Chains A and B, each alone.
Chain A
Amino acid sequence: MARLLSLLLLVALPFQVMGQEDPGLERRVASLAHELRCLVCQNQTLADSNAPLAQDLRNQIREQLRAGKSERDVIDFMVARYGDFVLYRPPFKATTVALWTGPFVLLALGAWLLVRRVRKRAPPPELTEAERRRAAQLLE
């Protein structure tokens, strides 16, 4: 029981820490932090990471939102410093065309190959008159 309780406390702790201030602001901070990459541990978002830099950047987000900056402003701030790489959803532009369209191109290519192959398959040969009679006999 005590173990369960401490586990619950552990789970609740981050929410408590987060909730100590304006919950609306914290929600905006969290949603932005989910959109931005932690540069230190590159496959985590700023929200997931506990690297010191991620904490600093989360604080930056919070400060800027509190100062009345918009989400767009914060994202521009990050991109100006760390580049598009910081965005978990890369923007659609000249350098990312292959990234965004590649899968669809491959899908279309696959579909085309499949259709071609199926079409090419030779139709079954017609039955001769004798075979037809034999088949009818067998089916009866």
Chain B
Amino acid sequence: MRFWLVVAGFLVLVGLLAAGLQLDPREVPSPLIGKPAPAFELPLLQQPDKSFSEKDMLGTVWVMNVWASWCPPCLVEHPVVSEFARSGIAPVVGLNYKDAREDALPWLKRNGDPFQVTVFDAAGRIAIDYGVYGVPETYVIDRKGIIRYKRVGPLTPEIVQKKVRPLIEELSKRG
């Protein structure tokens, strides 16, 4: 009896530790979900004299992808982002994070430019407002400008299919 109690206790402990190992410590729950997307007004990457604000997207469900040319995982996820943008489910806005134009522009030329527009956040100040801490990051923002989803780290086809797509379809149906 006592022996089995000890074994049971041990198994519970192993179970808890195993569950703990499955958790991704990078998945910090964002307090921004359900909150309005922080306001910004940033120059475009391609046309520095033009600017873009998150308000320009009001009325549309859209996706914001934070990337940088110096970020290897961004390169990894780029085909997924491109595929998603091509599917036309929602427009994708790029936020080029702490980058230099002379690096970012050739990067887009080399790897393809899936973005409707790319805004240029050289100082990374706007990214702080969005709670960015590990590029790439991806946000889904609804018609009213509320952040509905945030992914830290590269998008994968599974995440797009299981989370992002259904969410956008649902948000689009809602008025």
> What is the 8 Å Cβ interface bit string for chain A, positions 33-48, against chain B (1 contact, 0 not)?
0000001101000000
B128 touches A81 (CB 8 A): yes
Chain A binding surface, main DSSP class: helix
Q: Residue A82 contacts which of B28, B123, B125 (CB distance < 8 angstroms)?
A: B28
B28 touches A39 (CB 8 A): yes
Given the complex, which residues of A lie within 8 Å of B128, measured CB to CB? 56-57, 60, 81
Given the complex, which residues of A lie within 8 Å of B124, measured CB to CB? 52-53, 56
On whether A83 and B25 interact (CB within 8 A), knowing A39-B134, A52-B98, A60-B128, the answer reads no
Q: Residue B133 contacts which of A39, A79, A80 (CB distance < 8 angstroms)?
A: A39
Is residue A85 contacting chain B, with contact meaning CB distance below 8 A? yes
Is residue B175 contacting chain A, with contact meaning CB distance below 8 A? no
> Number of contacting residues on B, CB 8 A?
16
Count A-B contacts at CB 8 Å: 38
Is residue B9 contacting chain A, with contact meaning CB distance below 8 A? no
Given the complex, which residues of B lie within 8 Å of A82, measured CB to CB? 28, 30-31, 131, 133
> Least Cβ distance of A101 to chain B in Å?
17
> Least Cβ distance of A50 to chain B in Å?
15
A53 touches B29 (CB 8 A): no
Q: Residue A80 contacts which of B28, B31, B123, B134 (CB distance < 8 angstroms)?
A: B31
A40 touches B133 (CB 8 A): yes
> Least Cβ distance of A85 to chain B in Å?
5
Bound CA span A80–B130, Å = 9
Bound CA span A81–B147, Å = 12
Bound CA span A53–B123, Å = 11
Q: Residue A81 contacts which of B32, B98, B134 (CB distance < 8 angstroms)?
A: B32
Which of B's residues lie within 8 Å of A, judged by CB?
Answer: 25, 28-32, 98, 123-125, 128-131, 133-134
Closest 4 CB pairs of A and B: A39-B133, A81-B131, A83-B31, A85-B28
A–B pairs, 18, beta carbons within 8 Å:
A39-B133, A39-B134, A53-B124, A53-B133, A56-B128, A80-B31, A81-B128, A81-B129, A81-B131, A82-B28, A82-B131, A82-B133, A83-B28, A83-B30, A83-B31, A83-B131, A84-B31, A85-B28
